[in-house]
């Protein structure tokens, strides 16, 4: 399995072999071979950081292992008063339970929305307190403080501690791997990225999502986007027309949502 640890060990072994051959066995091996190590290591780390499904730095649950035609909807970045209530209305009418990965700083003054998400049978995950652009450069300790601050908001409003954590921007690294392990939470990714935050055309967005449907899929959406609220009834209908049913993300993955 291609992971950061395995990659590091293999490249370290290659370095040891080169050093042994060059300096102990006195073999005439060019130093240019050393350039291959960073040329392999750096691109792999970048790829592993931006692709949460790769499980390169840490294991993330990005889809269910099933052949059953079942999918889960997940919404990031709320709760916010403009579109979260609209999306909740649609989900209630369609009888679909979803996962909401909330940003902690959005909870104050929107506690009623958080309570409504929970009361209507949806599940809530931690999407960090700040969702800072520089979150991925935080130290392990600062990441943990950020995650804890969001948890405190959840505890204050709902008396619940989330066990599901979705990395901001879906980016992972060694610091986050350690923080998640120490926090005893599970990293949750996705297998279908809707790109609703940048989409302009409703039909293209719908087809982009529907064309990627597969058993056990986790679909990434945002309850902060007008286009998401606008297409959601048609998206749900399109998924059902293709023979799929919906399950709540924690049930789809067979994990506990709260500590």
- Contact criterion met (CB below 8 Å) for 173 and 136: yes
**Annotated catalytic residue within 222, 223, 247, 250:** 222
Residue of 212, 193, 189 whose CA lies nearest to 62:
189
Neighbours of 149 (CB within 10 A): 15
> How many helices (H) and strands (E) in the chain?
9, 9
Q: CA 4 from chain center: how many Å? A: 18
The Cα–Cα gap between 162 and 154 comes to 8
Neighbours of 25 (CB within 10 A): 8
222 is catalytic: yes
**Annotated catalytic residue within 4, 76, 131, 223:** 76
146 is catalytic: no
Question: DSSP letter at 35?
Answer: G
Neighbours of 150 (CB within 10 A): 24
Residue numbers annotated as active site: 76, 222
């Amino acid at each position: 399995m291609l992971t950061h640890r395995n990659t590091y060990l293999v490249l370290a072994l290659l370095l040891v072999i080169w050093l042994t051959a060059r300096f102990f066995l006195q073999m005439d091996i060019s130093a240019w071979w050393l350039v291959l190590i960073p040329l392999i290591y750096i691109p792999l780390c970048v790829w592993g950081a931006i692709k949460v499904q790769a499980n390169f730095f840490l294991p993330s649950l990005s889809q269910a292992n099933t052949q059953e035609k079942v999918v889960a909807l997940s919404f990031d970045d709320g709760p916010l008063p403009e579109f979260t209530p609209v999306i909740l209305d649609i989900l209630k009418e369609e009888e679909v339970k979803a996962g909401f990965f909330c940003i902690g700083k959005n909870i104050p003054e929107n506690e009623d929305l958080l309570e409504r998400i929970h009361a209507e049978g949806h599940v809530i995950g931690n999407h960090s307190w700040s969702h800072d652009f520089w979150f991925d450069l935080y130290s392990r300790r600062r990441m943990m403080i950020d995650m804890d601050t969001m948890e405190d908001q959840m505890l204050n409003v709902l008396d619940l501690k989330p066990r599901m954590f979705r990395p901001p921007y879906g980016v992972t690294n060694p610091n986050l791997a350690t923080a998640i392990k120490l926090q005893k939470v599970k990293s949750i990714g996705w297998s279908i990225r809707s790109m609703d935050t940048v989409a302009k055309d409703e039909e293209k967005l719908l087809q982009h999502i529907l064309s990627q449907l597969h058993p056990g899929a986790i679909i990434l959406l945002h309850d902060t986007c007008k286009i998401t609220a606008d297409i959601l009834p048609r998206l749900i209908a399109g998924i059902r027309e293709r023979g799929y049913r919906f399950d709540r993300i924690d049930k789809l993955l067979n994990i506990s949502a709260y500590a």
